[in-house]
Amino acid sequence: MYTILIVDDDPALLELLVTVLEEPGYVVMTAKNGYEAVSILADRHVDLMITDIRMPGLSGLELARQAKLFRPHLHIIYMSGFYDDRDGGGRHEYGVLLQKPVRPEALLATIQNEILAGPRPAA
């Protein structure tokens, strides 16, 4: 089973995304900031991280850079409410960028694409 870490400073969004992702059977963990996410990534197996880009303290981009140092194969999906055309047509450093508010069906489709693009998770 695939394990997903969701990182966002909005508790309501975390709760919504957990509900959306647990329904198809993903194992879901949450972190309310980048520092908490680094701690989880250091101790637990994670296949995919979904992170807000703009968060107080450690931004989603800095979080991704740190995560890639010890989890180079980690798939990353970024979320941002401050999306514009300069963001590379949906791609961003290390991963895919989705505009907030994130539609559940778009998120699930993006997750499927990221999973199919990479190696199978450890058993």
Please check whether residue 112 lies inside any domain of the structure: yes
Position 27 scores a pLDDT of 97
Please check whether residue 77 lies inside any domain of the structure: yes
Question: Is the pLDDT confidence value at 123 over 50?
Answer: no
**Helix %, strand %, coil % of the chain (to 5):** 40, 25, 35
Position 70 scores a pLDDT of 86
Q: How many domains are there within the chain?
A: 1
Please check whether residue 30 lies inside any domain of the structure: yes
Preceding peptide of 24 cis, ω within 30°: no
Most confident of 59-73, 82-96, 106-120: 59-73
**81-94 burial: b if 16+ Cβ within 10 Å, else e:** eebeeeeeeeebeb
